[in-house]
Amino acid sequence: MKKFNIKKDVERRFLMLSVLKGLSFGVLSWRLFDLQVIENKKYDKLSKDNQFNFSLVVPERGEIYDRKGRVLAANRDAFSLYIKSSENLNIDQILFKLMSITNLNEDDINDFKIRYRDLYKNNVNIFMTDNLSQRDISKIAVRLHEFPEVNFLMTKKRVYPQGAITGHLIGYTGKLTEKDLQKNKNLINFSNLRIGKYGLEKFFDKKLRGEFGRRRQEVNARGKIITSNLYEKPNPGKNLNISIDLNIQSYALSRLQNIKSNKLEYNEPETGSVIVMDVNTGELLCCVSSPNFNPNIFSRGIKSREWKTLINNKKAPLLNRAVSGLYPPGSTIKMAVALAALESGVIGYDSKFFCNGVKEYGDMKFHCWHKYGHGNINLSQAIERSCDVFFYELGLKVGIEKIGSMLKKLGLSANINLELNELRRGLVPSKKWKLEVKGTSWTPGETINASIGQGYMLSNPIELTTMVARIANSEMSIEPTLLSNKKQKFSKLDINKNHLTYIKSAMSNVVNNEFGTAYKSKLKNKNIKMAGKTGTVQVIRISEEEREKGIVKNKDREWNKRDHALFVGYAPLDNPKYSICVIVEHGGSGSTTAAPIARDVISKLLI
């Protein structure tokens, strides 16, 4: 009886345990169903992440050509030095040995040491430098058996065959930095990637860079690569054809840097810029800034000493004066003031003002450059001889607002979409601007100053070139561009044709009439004529006392206290093709320094 009970008991307990077993098997099956069917996608991705490493394949950077197909920026094959890391490598000894036979850049070595410290445990090839000369490479290659950890890899290196001639325009590329990544979220963090840092390289960086390809590597748990193949082809960067004509560019640069006069004291190149624009398309044929720099030093990795010299140079060779140099435009805007006056009808073509050399307004005296005055002259003569007093009177009649809107219509301080990030906008002051920025109201004396392009007014050479191009074109609001074949659409230039014709003939007189300020710079070829306007910009105030003692001549002043020399113009006279702007910082007067350069560059273009 008792035994039977035990048996029964045992079987009941057995069934209980069997239910437990069944449940357990059920739970296991469910768990596997959950992992393998429901959550499959998640784990499949994790598994692929384990299995594959994707490395980026850098696309070849697009090349840059001038308007005639001459190479301005290209890629050259170069060797990169890599060091294969491992846990027990005496890296300092290897570096010491490498340094003893080659000229390794110190910055490269320091960068490498940081990379090495971060990566050496992964047993990978760590980038060292791509700045070795052919000599150094062959030195290492010969002794490669002494450096079993050293590998060479073919890479591309950016080269600028024209060097400093197009330095400011083309710019340069540099290593991707943390700052770049913060600024541009779309950039892929890839060490060794070089991105545009200046000039066109920067502006068109995305287009020139192309798109990364991907290499897929199967790696095992210890990080060893099992297979490797190209998964996505890189998309090479697009080439760029720019509007610059290398011939003109190099001629203008050498002409600017080798001004004959005043060369005794200064051996440094002149500072300034020369811009030539096609007045029908807006294309820039030449855009020169001096002093300049050779962008190739950035390609090979600039040494800190070189960088310091560039940065500490007082003449700022890294500055592209043609687009970011801001100057008071001086007399070069007299055409704009005249047009504002004609458009508003305050004077006619034959209205005259009397210039006795000084304009007194209240207790202030405003002098003309001509100490004894120009006498009774009309508008055309005033432009031709650049009479200041005439424009003082005119400015007071027209008012600053109308002058300002005409200047903006002609491109000064306007939205210019030039393809350079370095572009800095000029300043055309107004009553509103004065009140907002200076906090005081506009005075007539400031209008007097503004009507000869002094005072608060600032403009960059590109704006001045655009202004002349619009006057010369007379039809359209020409916009400058650095691209060839951009096929821009311009809006109409809404200025009375007769007024423009009148102003253009006055500009012609500046160069071609014997009283003109730039008469000495008329083209030597009699069939082609140039029109223009000179400008001499004071950089220091001359007090009445100094004026009475007699003004100190430019060449006797310190360099940075001399006047800026400006010239704007266009040619040929009858069927304008090119507008030009020449600025020589502290170069003296516009007629003696800037106009001859313009004459020579235009001659080079047209003759």
Partner 1 sequence: MLSYKNKFYKPDGILKKLLKIDWFLLFLVLIICIIGFGALYSAGDGNLNPWALNHLYKIIMGFLIVFILSQFKINFIVKFSVIFYLFCVLCLIYVIYFGVGDVKRWIDLKYFFFQPSELTKVSVILLLAKFFTDYPTNSSNLLYNLFAMLLVLFPGFLIINQPDLGTGSMLIILGFSIIFLNGLSLNVIFSMIIVSLISLPIIWQNLLDYQKYRILVFLNPELDTLGKGYQIMQSKIAIGSGGIFGKGYLAGSQSRLDFLPEKHTDFVFTLISEEMGFIGSLLVIILYLLINLILMREFLKEENLTNKILIFGVSFLIFLYVIFNIGMVSGLIPVVGAPLPFISNGGTSLITIFIGIGIIQSIRVSRNV
Applying CB under 8 A, the residues found at the interface with partner 1 are 3, 6-7, 9-11, 13-14, 17-18, 21, 24-25, 27-29, 31-33, 35-37, 39-40, 42-44, 46-48, 50-51, 218-222, 226
CA distance 338 to 57: 59
User: 6 vs 114, which CB is nearer to partner 1?
Assistant: 6
DSSP annotation of 458: B
Q: Which residues pair with 290 in a beta bridge?
A: 272
For residues 426 and 482, is the Cβ–Cβ distance under 8 A? Answer: no
Nearer to partner 1, 9 or 544 (CB): 9
Q: How far is the CB of 309 from partner 1 (least distance, A)?
A: 51
Pick the closer one to partner 1 by CB: 46 or 153. Answer: 46
Give how far Cα 27 sits from Cα of 30, 32, 168, 412, Å.
5, 9, 72, 79
Distance between CA 444 and CA 459 in Å, rounded? 21
Closest distance to partner 1 from the beta carbon of 423 (Å): 52
8 A C-beta contact, residue 511 and residue 522: yes
Question: Would you say 46 or 141 has its CB closer to partner 1?
Answer: 46
The CB-of-115 to partner 1 minimum distance in angstroms stands at 24
Collapsing DSSP to helix, strand or coil, 470 comes out as: helix
Using the minimum distance from each CB to partner 1, give the nearer residue, 10 or 99.
Answer: 10
CA atoms of 23 and 176, how far apart (whole Å): 59
The minimum distance between CB 37 and partner 1, in angstroms, equals: 6
Looking at the Cβ atoms of 219 and 396, the one nearer to partner 1 is 219
CA–CA distance, 155 with 191 (Å, rounded to integer): 14
Report how far residue 601's alpha carbon sits from residue 594's, in angstroms, rounded to the nearest whole number.
11
123 vs 505 by CB, closer to partner 1 = 123
Between 49 and 146, whose beta carbon lies closer to partner 1? 49
Report d(CA 92, CA 97) in Å as an integer: 9
Closest CA to 228 of 51, 472, 23, 71: 51
Q: How far is the CB of 126 from partner 1 (least distance, A)?
A: 23
Least spacing, CB of residue 34 vs partner 1, in Å? 9
Cα distance between residue 295 and residue 198, in whole Å: 10
Amino acid sitting at position 450: A
CB of 92 to partner 1, least distance (A): 29
- Count CB neighbours of 371 within 10 A: 11
Three-state SS annotation for 483-516: ECCCCCCCCECCCCHHHHHHHHHHHHHHHHCCCC
Please report how the helices 91-101 and 134-142 are oriented relative to each other, as an axis angle in degrees rounded to 10: 120
Q: In the complex, what is the shortest distance from the CB of residue 4 to partner 1, in angstroms, rounded to a whole number?
A: 11
Least distance between partner 1 and beta carbon 54 (Å): 15
Provide, rounded to whole angstroms, the least separation between the CB of residue 14 and partner 1.
6
Counting beta carbons within 10 angstroms of the beta carbon of residue 607, is it exposed (0 to 12), middle (13 to 18) or buried (19 or more)?
Answer: exposed
Q: Which is nearer to partner 1, 46 or 364 (CB)?
A: 46
Question: Which of 90, 227 has the CB closer to partner 1?
Answer: 227
Q: Please provide the distance, in angstroms rounded to a whole number, between the alpha carbons at the two ends of the chain.
A: 133
Residue 259's CB is within 10 A of a number of other CB atoms, namely 21
Could you identify the residue written with the tokens 């939205």? 415
